[in-house]
Chain A
Amino acid sequence: MPRSYLKSAFAAGVVTGLASLGAATSAQAEDLTLCWAAWDPANALVALSKDFEAKSGHKMSFEFVPWPNFADRMLNELNSGGKLCDLMIGDSQWIGGAAENGQYVKLNDFFDKEGIKMSDFIPATVTGYSEWPKGTPNYWALPAFGDVVGWSYRKDWFSRPELQAEFKQKYGHELAVPKTFEELKHIAEFFQGRVIDGKTVYGAAIYTERGSEGITMGAMDVLYSYGFEYQNPDKPYELEGYVNSDKSVKGLEFYKELYNCCAPPGSSDAYMSENIDAYKSGQVALQMNFAFTWPGINADPNVGGDKSGYFPNPAGPDGKQFAQLGGQGISVVAISEKQDAALEYIKWFAQPDVQAKWWQLGGYSALRAVVEDPGFAKSQPYAQTFLDSMAIVKDFWAEPSYASLLQASQKRFHNYVVAGQGTAKEALDGLAADWKAIFEDEGKY
Chain B
Amino acid sequence: MLDSSADRAVGETPPVVSKRSRGLSDRAIAWLFVAPSIFLLLAVNIFPLIWTVRLSFTNFRVNRPNAEVQFVGLKNYISVLTDGDIWQTMQATAHFLIWTIVLQVLIGFALAYLINKKFRGNDMWTTIIVLPMMLSPAVVGNFWTFLYQPQIGLFNYAVGYLTGTDPSTFSMIGDVSLAPWAIVIVDTWMWTPFVMLICLAGLRSIPSSIYEAAECDRASKWRQFWTITIPMVLPFLMLAVLFRGIENFKMFDLVVQLTGGGPGSITELTSINLKREAFEKWRTGYASAYAVILFVTVFGLASIYVKALNKVKQR
Contact = CB atoms under 8 A, between A and B. Distances in A.
B168 A265 contact: yes
B280 A101 contact: no
Interface stretch (A71-79, A132-140, A302-310, A379-387): A71-79
A411 B156 CA distance: 27
Contacts of B283: 404
A97 B63 contact: yes
A421 B263 CA distance: 10
A269 B268 CA distance: 14
A418 B174 contact: yes
A415 B174 CA distance: 12
A269 B256 CA distance: 12
Contacts of B62: 79-80
Given A75-B63, A418-B174, A269 B279 contact: no
B63 A269 contact: no
B111 interface: no
A419 interface: yes
A268 B263 contact: yes
Interface residues of B, number: 35
Contacts of B263: 210, 268-269, 414, 418-419
Contact of A211 (B65, B171, B174, B261): B261
A290 to B, nearest CB: 20
Contacts of B64: 101, 400
Interface in B250-286: 256, 259-266, 276, 279-283
B107 to A, nearest CB: 27
A80 B284 CA distance: 13
Q: Which of A80, A268, A419, A420 has the most CB of B within 10 A?
A: A268
A407 interface: yes
Interface residues of A, number: 32
Contacts of B97: none
B178 to A, nearest CB: 10
A443 B256 CA distance: 33
Nearest to B145: A269
A101 B264 contact: no
Contacts of A281: 152
B262 A418 contact: yes
A337 B259 CA distance: 40
A233 interface: no
A70 B176 CA distance: 27
Contacts of B173: 266, 268-269
A419 B66 CA distance: 39
Contacts of A404: 280-281, 283
Interface string A67-105: 010011001100110000000000000000100011000
A101 B149 contact: no
A220 to B, nearest CB: 18
B279 A76 contact: yes
A415 B264 contact: yes
B169 interface: yes
11 contacts: A72-B279, A75-B63, A210-B259, A210-B260, A211-B261, A211-B262, A265-B151, A266-B151, A269-B263, A407-B280, A418-B264
Interface of B: 62-66, 145, 148-153, 156, 168-169, 171, 173-176, 256, 259-266, 276, 279-283
Given A211-B260, A269-B173, A421-B264, 16 more contacts: A68-B260, A79-B62, A97-B63, A210-B263, A265-B168, A266-B150, A266-B153, A268-B174, A268-B263, A269-B259, A269-B263, A400-B63, A407-B280, A407-B281, A414-B262, A421-B176
